[in-house]
Amino acid sequence: MSTARQRAEDGAEGRAEDRAEDRLRVVVAAPLSEENCARVRELEPRIDLVVDHTLLPPMRWPADFAGDPSWRRTPAQQRSYEAAVDSADALYGIPDVSPSALARTVRANPRLRWVHTMAAGGGSQVRAAGLGDDELDRVRFTTSAGVHGGPLAEFAVLGVLAGAKDLPRLARQQRRHEWSGRWTMRQVSGQTVLVLGLGGIGRAVAAKLHALGATVIGTSRRCAEVNAGTDGTDVAGVTGVTTVVRPDRIVEVAPVVDAVVNTLPGTPATEHLLGARFFDALRPGATVVSVGRGSVVDEAALVAALDSGRVGFAALDVFETEPLPGHSPLWDHERVLVSPHTAALDPAEDRLIAELFAANATRLLDGRELLNRVNTVEFY
């Protein structure tokens, strides 16, 4: 394995080996408003920002970087677009959010050194491009991880609260105009929540759940396993986490878990981590929330666990196949909340991504290590 790829495997957090440079030619390959173009130029004046809005699809909502699917470039516009991205030192966005277009661009442009992906999980797009080791060594890839932490953490809290308060039963009784006898509701302050992943999203989730009084167990492959008892703060540097376990031990802690929140990226190591063995070990009636990548959850096993009552409620923003197929039993399951991968969307997202890009451009120009560098071994 090359030195650059070994550094990526270790989290791309090692010593920076890039030399400082005077200017950076950045081609905007994804929709970016003129206001945010101006913001990037203001934050890093050494960028030569190349953007032609006529070559970029109109966005239908904030962070809609793929744009209106009915929009098409003319052949002449396509040639102009490809000529622009092929002249870049760096790209703001994967061309057309397409792995095949990314592969074409990397191979056509030997001067390209950095691509910023719009998604927090942009590593999966890089993996899908099928680039060779030399290409992965030459071009740095970064993601927008961290931008979505706050909104996704709020959705996670919504899911945990909905499970604790038996939202499906309340909704069902309301539809039936049924005034039942009273029943006790669970309190989040008395629950133990397993948060899968302690990256930007997982840390935000842990902090919010801890503020509600929950006991939080986190998972990490890199941190040593720690059990701090019940004091509740700053285990492995994460506020609100009392215990840290490795992902391969989650079945062992499942019997004490009232809710689990998936914030993990989609990699071969995380695929179906939440499967039948885990669900079978859960405390009956537990809540499942998924805001990471849909491949982490074995949906067939989840449906079985919902049917048996082992899982009492699931709030899902991501799925194994998106859009969620119409035949999926998740659509009509009375104890499932389906969100169409929209929980991360925030009016400020475009600006925050632009500011993150500008900060990384400064790092690149100054010869420092980039933030959110994609691991080009496991692609997260």
Q: What is the pLDDT of residue 93?
A: 98
Residue 48, SS3 per DSSP: strand
Q: Does 306 share its domain with 194? A: yes
Q: What is the pLDDT of residue 144?
A: 95
- What CATH number is attached to the domain comprising 164? 3.40.50.720
Domain that holds residue 52: 3-147+347-365
Count of structural domains within the chain: 2
Q: Does 134 share its domain with 186? A: no
Q: Does 228 share its domain with 324? A: yes
pTM: 0.87
Q: What is the pLDDT of residue 141?
A: 98
Q: What is the pLDDT of residue 10?
A: 47
Q: Does 252 share its domain with 181? A: yes
Determine, yes or no, domain membership for 354.
yes
Q: What is the pLDDT of residue 120?
A: 87
Distance CA 216, CA 210 (A): 7
Which amino acids are annotated catalytic? Answer: 293, 322, 341
Q: What is the pLDDT of residue 330?
A: 98
Q: What is the pLDDT of residue 21?
A: 75
Copy the structure tokens of residue 13.
């957090």
> Strands (DSSP E) along 268-343, which ranges?
286-290, 311-316, 336-338
Amino acid symbol at 257? V
Query: Per-residue pLDDT tens for 3-50?
Result: 444 444 444 444 344 566 799 999 999 999 999 999 999 999 999 999
**Strand-pair partners of 204:** none
Which residues in the chain show pLDDT less than 50?
1-17, 229-232
Residue 82: φ, ψ to 5°: -65, -35
